[in-house]
Amino acid sequence: MKKIAIFTSGGDSPGMNACIRAAVRTAMFNGVEVVGIERGFSGMINNEFINLNSRSVSNIVQRGGTILKTARSKEFMTAEGRKKAHENIIAHGVEGLICIGGNGSFTGAKTLFEEYGIPCIGAPGTIDNDLYGTDFTIGFDTAVNTAVEAIDKIRDTADSHDRVFFIEVMGRNSGYIALAAGIAGGAESILIPESAEDWHKMIDLFTGEHRSKKAFTIVIVAEGEEHGGAIQIVEHLKSIKSDFEARVTILGHIQRGGSPSAYDRVLASRLGNAAVEALLRGETNKMAGLRNNLVVLTPFDDAINKVKHLNPDLLRLVDVFNC
C-alpha cells in the first residue's frame, strides 16, 4: 500500500490520540502516505480528508479526546451514504483504513469492505471495555481511574455525614467500569447488567433482616443496569422502605475525557502500531487487541458479536470484601 487513512468513530476515549500518533508514525516508517478523516464516517461522506505527518501528531500523546474529531452518522447507514464515502476514499487514493472505535465503528468498516472491498484494521477505542478479543480497550483504564478518584472524594463526604451514596458510572451495557471502580473504591455494593444476584444482595443490604450497620455506604451502579440508573434504584428503595435516604451522583462524561493514563498510552501505541503493520501485510476485517499481554488479531465478526464475559474472580471479590 502507498496510502492509508485513519479515522476515529463513535464515543471518544482517552488514548485515541496516542493511537493516531502510533499509526501515523508506523505508516511513515514504512514509507506509506497517511491522511486523516475528520469526524469518522460523517467526514468520510462529506470529504473531510486532511494530510497527516510526523509533525501533525507531535505533542498529542498526552491529550484526551481525538484530534480527528468523531461523530455518529445516520447517512452512513444508507447505501447512498456509503457510496459517497467510497467515492471520496477512491478520489484520495486511499488503499486501506485504520478505524479507532468500538463495535458500531467496526460494523461500518466491515460493511465498507463487504460492499466495496476497502480493507480495514481496527483498534479498540472505547472506555466500555466490551469488545471481545482484547483484555483491555483504549481508554478503559483512564475511565476507571477517573471514576475511582471521584468515588474517593464522595467517600469523604459520605463518611463525614454518615450517608448512603449511589454513584452511577458509564459503560453502556457493560459492567466493566462499575466492577473495577467499585472494587478499587471500596464500594459496599456494585450493580452491573451481567449479574442479577447483585440486585437482591443490594436490596438485602438496606432492607433485609441482616442489613448493614455501617455508618455510611457506597453503591456503584452501571448505567446499563437492568433495573434502571441510580436515580430509579433509589426511588425503588424508597418505595420499599419509606425512611430510606440516599444521595445520587452521576459521573457521566467526565469519564470519557482527560489525559490518558500511562497504561492507556502504551496500549494505544502498541495497538496503533500493530493495526498498521497488519494492514500492510494484507490483513483486513480484523481488530488488533491485547490478550495475555500479546498483540492478537480478532475478526470483526467475533469482536462485535461474541460476548466478553466478566472475570468471575472479580465478582467473587465483591462478596468476600463485603461480608
Helices vs strands, H then E, count in the chain: 11, 11
Helix or strand or coil: residue 293?
coil
Pairwise CA distance, residues 19 & 259, whole Å = 13
Pairwise CA distance, residues 17 & 265, whole Å = 9
Q: Where are the beta strands (DSSP E) in 131-254?
A: 164-169, 189-191, 217-222, 247-250
| Nearest Cα residue to 164 out of 250, 239, 249, 247 | 247
Longest dimension (CA), the chain: 70
The strand pair at 164-169 and 294-299 is best described as unpaired
In DSSP terms, 289 is beta-bridged to 296
Q: Which three cell numbers stand for residue 285?
A: 476485517
Query: Distances from the Cα of 221 to the Cαs of 17, 209, 304, in angstroms?
Result: 29, 23, 24
Active site residue 128: yes
Given the residues 128, 130, 141, 198, the one annotated as active site: 128
The catalytic residues are 128
